Amino acid sequence: MIGELKRFLVGRPIETAAQHDQRLSKRIALAVFSSDALSSVAYASEAILVVLITAGAGSLPLVIEISLGIALLLLIVGFSYRQTIYAYPSGGGAYIVAHENLGQIPGLIAAASLLIDYVLTVAVSVSAGVFAITSLAATWGYGGLATYRVEIALACITLITIINLRGVKESGLIFSVPTYVFVVSMIALLGVGLMRIVTTNAAPIPVAPSELPIPTATIGLFLLLQAFSAGCTALTSVEAISNGVPAFRRPESKNAATTLLWMVGILGVMFLGLSVLAHYYGTVPREDVSVVSQIARQVVGTGPAFFVIQVSTALILVLAANTSYADFPRLASLLSRDRFLPRQFSSRGDRLVFSNGIVALGVFAALLVIVFDAREQAMLPLYAIGVFISFTLSQYGMVRHWLRLRESGWRTSAIINAIGAVLTAVVFIVIIITRFSHGAWAVLVLIPILVLLFRAIHQHYVTVARQLSLEKTARVVPVQRNTAIVLVSGVHRGVIPALEFAKSIATDNTMAVYVNLDDEQTEKVRVKWSQWGSGVPLIVLESPYRSLIGPIMRYIDQVDQLYDDDVLSVILPEFIPSKWWQHLLHNQTALAIKAALLFRKGIVVISVPYHLAS
Q: Which of residues 558-587 bind a copy of itself (CB under 8 A)?
A: 567, 569, 575-577, 582, 584-587
Least separation, in Å, of the C-beta of 13 and a copy of itself?
Answer: 4
Query: How big is the chain, counted in residues?
Result: 614
Report residue 610: phi and psi, to 5°: -130, 110
Least separation, in Å, of the C-beta of 447 and a copy of itself?
Answer: 21
**Rounded distance, CA 358 to CA 238, Å?**
22
| Amino acid, single-letter form, for residue 373 | D
Question: 93-132 mask for a copy of itself (x: CB under 8 A)?
Answer: ----------------------------------------
Cβ contact 95:409 at 8 Å: no
Least separation, in Å, of the C-beta of 73 and a copy of itself?
Answer: 41
Residue of 9, 464, 527, 592 interacting with a copy of itself (CB under 8 A): 464
Please tell me what DSSP assigns to residue 605: E
Least separation, in Å, of the C-beta of 15 and a copy of itself?
Answer: 5
User: Which 147-176 positions form the footprint of a copy of itself (CB under 8 A)?
Assistant: none
List own/partner pairs for 269-273 with CB under 8 A and 24 or more apart: 269/187, 269/190, 270/38, 270/41, 270/183, 270/186, 270/187, 270/190, 271/40, 271/41, 271/44, 271/45, 271/67, 271/70, 271/71, 271/74, 271/234, 272/67, 272/68, 272/71, 273/186, 273/190, 273/193, 273/194
Cβ contact 390:243 at 8 Å: no
**Rounded distance, CA 369 to CA 324, Å?**
15
Least separation, in Å, of the C-beta of 593 and a copy of itself?
Answer: 12
Q: Are strands 538-542 and 566-576 parallel, antiparallel or unpaired?
A: unpaired
Question: 349-378 mask for a copy of itself (x: CB under 8 A)?
Answer: xx----------------------------
Cβ contact 420:77 at 8 Å: yes
Least separation, in Å, of the C-beta of 545 and a copy of itself?
Answer: 4
Site for a copy of itself (CB under 8 A): how many residues?
A: 73
Of 268 and 494, the one with the shorter C-beta distance to a copy of itself is: 494
Per CB under 8 A, 412 contacts a copy of itself: no
Question: 297-326 mask for a copy of itself (x: CB under 8 A)?
Answer: ------------------------------
CA-wise closest residue to 225 among 438, 447, 446: 438
Of 417 and 509, the one with the shorter C-beta distance to a copy of itself is: 509
Least separation, in Å, of the C-beta of 480 and a copy of itself?
Answer: 8
In this chain, which stretch among 81-89, 113-121, 213-221, 461-469 interacts with a copy of itself, using CB under 8 A? 461-469
Of 28 and 608, the one with the shorter C-beta distance to a copy of itself is: 608
Least separation, in Å, of the C-beta of 495 and a copy of itself?
Answer: 9
Of 172 and 533, the one with the shorter C-beta distance to a copy of itself is: 533
| b/e code 463-489 from CB counts within 10 Å (16+ = b) | eeeeeeeeeeeeeeeeeeebbbbbbbb
Per CB under 8 A, 141 contacts a copy of itself: no
Residue of 22, 158, 412, 463 interacting with a copy of itself (CB under 8 A): 463
In this chain, which stretch among 199-207, 242-250, 338-346, 440-448 interacts with a copy of itself, using CB under 8 A? 338-346
**Rounded distance, CA 511 to CA 508, Å?**
9
Helix H, strand E, coil C: the string for 482-539 is EEEEEECCCCCCCHHHHHHHHHHHCCCCEEEEEEECCHHHHHHHHHHHHHHCCCCCEE
Of 285 and 349, the one with the shorter C-beta distance to a copy of itself is: 349
Per CB under 8 A, 608 contacts a copy of itself: yes
User: Which 525-564 positions form the footprint of a copy of itself (CB under 8 A)?
Assistant: 528, 532, 534, 544-547
CA-only gyration radius of the chain, Å: 32
Residue of 22, 158, 347, 412 interacting with a copy of itself (CB under 8 A): 347
User: Which 441-460 positions form the footprint of a copy of itself (CB under 8 A)?
Assistant: 457, 460
Question: 13-32 mask for a copy of itself (x: CB under 8 A)?
Answer: xxxxx---------------
Cβ contact 313:42 at 8 Å: yes
Of 287 and 471, the one with the shorter C-beta distance to a copy of itself is: 471
CA-wise closest residue to 139 among 297, 291, 261, 270: 297
216 CB burial (10 A radius; 0-12, 13-18, 19+)? exposed
User: Which 465-504 positions form the footprint of a copy of itself (CB under 8 A)?
Assistant: 467-470, 473, 476-479, 482, 491-494, 496-497, 500-501, 503-504
Cis peptide leading into 381, omega within 30 of 0? no
Determine the distance from the C-alpha atom of residue 593 to the mean position of all C-alpha atoms in its chain, rounded to a whole number: 36
Residue of 505, 511, 539, 541 interacting with a copy of itself (CB under 8 A): 505
**Rounded distance, CA 264 to CA 347, Å?**
35
Of 174 and 567, the one with the shorter C-beta distance to a copy of itself is: 567
456 CB burial (10 A radius; 0-12, 13-18, 19+)? exposed
User: Which 225-254 positions form the footprint of a copy of itself (CB under 8 A)?
Assistant: none
Of 288 and 557, the one with the shorter C-beta distance to a copy of itself is: 557
| b/e code 299-324 from CB counts within 10 Å (16+ = b) | bbeeeebbebbbbbbbbbbbbbbbbb
Least separation, in Å, of the C-beta of 115 and a copy of itself?
Answer: 17
Of 541 and 612, the one with the shorter C-beta distance to a copy of itself is: 612
Least separation, in Å, of the C-beta of 213 and a copy of itself?
Answer: 27
User: Which 260-289 positions form the footprint of a copy of itself (CB under 8 A)?
Assistant: none
Of 188 and 511, the one with the shorter C-beta distance to a copy of itself is: 511
Please tell me what DSSP assigns to residue 40: G
Of 123 and 506, the one with the shorter C-beta distance to a copy of itself is: 506
